[in-house]
């Protein structure tokens, strides 16, 4: 039987049991692989400005930064007709001009290089059709064995379906995967899927391991 790993476990006290039988390391995108704050603000403010609305507030951004674009628009606009028009406009707006505002975590590529070929890598994100252009723009398109976006599932996070899809794809058990996330949605999805969560820069989450940067995880994995 595996020992319980408490949520206050840190990189310096991590028991080796966390990595026993590990086969897949999966990542959330926003807030983990990338700091997307400026890009998402610019994107949604552009949509709001088009309809004469005020810019995104701090409390609104907390919600839209975690959820799908469809749910974000539904949250920002307050009646069915406004939502319909905003959704239609959003789908016409390319995300590519906003990619210049994205900031990739500086140790991401080093971690990914150390994971291959020992482990498979995957992404489970609530992004939609912006994920592939983002990977291409930062030279990451060939670094992941599987990418699951909200377009690939019926129920995005916090539902466990994106993570269950990863387990099914690689034909592995939940305890053979880690999921690196930074939000309550990631915590809920991982718990429901039975996958151990690595909390990235968020000590408030209940997780098997808390890390502040990717070098800590790379060192633990011996990369």
Tens of pLDDT, residues 7-55: 344 444 444 677 889 999 999 999 999 999 999 999 999 999 999 999 9
pLDDT at 101 over 50: yes
Q: Does 211 share its domain with 147?
A: yes
Is 195 in the same domain as 208?
Answer: yes
Residue 114: what pLDDT? Answer: 96
**Owning domain of residue 30:** 11-35+102-220
Query: Are 175 and 151 members of one domain?
Result: yes
107 plus 117 within the same structural domain: yes
Contact by Cβ (8 Å): 31, 182: yes
Same domain, 106 and 91: no
Residue 133's CB is within 10 A of a number of other CB atoms, namely: 14
In this prediction, residue 76 has a pLDDT band, given cuts at 50, 70 and 90, of very high
Same domain, 84 and 21: no
Within this chain, do residues 24 and 90 fall inside the same structural domain, yes or no?
no
Q: Which of 45, 74, 100 is the last residue of a domain?
A: 100
pLDDT of the residue at 203: 96
pLDDT at 66: 87
- What pLDDT, on the 0 to 100 scale, is given for residue 10? 47
Q: Is the dihedral of CA 8, 9, 11, 12 positive or negative?
A: positive
Among 100, 128, 145, the domain-final residue is 100
With contact defined as beta carbons under 8 Å apart, do 47 and 94 qualify? no
**Total domains, the chain:** 2
pLDDT tens for 116-175 read 999 999 999 999 989 999 999 999 999 999 999 999 999 999 999 999 999 999 999 999
pLDDT tier for residue 1 given thresholds of 50, 70 and 90 = very low
């Amino acid at each position: 039987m595996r020992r319980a790993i408490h949520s206050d476990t840190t990189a310096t006290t991590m028991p080796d049991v966390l990595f026993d039988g590990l086969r897949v390391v999966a990542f959330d995108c926003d807030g983990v692989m990338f700091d997307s704050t400026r890009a998402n603000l610019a994107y949604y403010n552009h949509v709001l400005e088009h309809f004469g609305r005020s810019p995104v507030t701090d409390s609104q951004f907390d919600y839209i930064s975690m959820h799908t674009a469809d749910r974000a628009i539904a949250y920002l606009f307050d009646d069915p007709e406004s939502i319909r028009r905003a959704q239609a406009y959003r789908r016409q707006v390319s995300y590519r001009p906003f990619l210049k505002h994205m900031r990739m975590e500086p140790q991401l590529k080093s971690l990914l290089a150390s994971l291959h070929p020992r482990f498979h890598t995957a992404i489970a994100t609530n992004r939609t059709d912006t994920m592939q252009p983002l990977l291409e723009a930062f030279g990451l398109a060939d670094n992941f064995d599987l990418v699951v976006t909200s377009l690939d599932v019926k129920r995005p996070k916090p539902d466990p379906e994106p993570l269950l899809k990863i387990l099914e794809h690689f034909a592995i058990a939940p305890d053979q995967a880690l999921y690196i996330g930074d939000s309550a949605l990631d915590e809920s999805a991982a718990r429901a899927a039975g996958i151990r969560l690595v909390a990235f820069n968020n000590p408030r989450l209940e997780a098997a391991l808390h890390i502040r940067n990717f070098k800590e995880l790379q060192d633990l994995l011996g990369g």
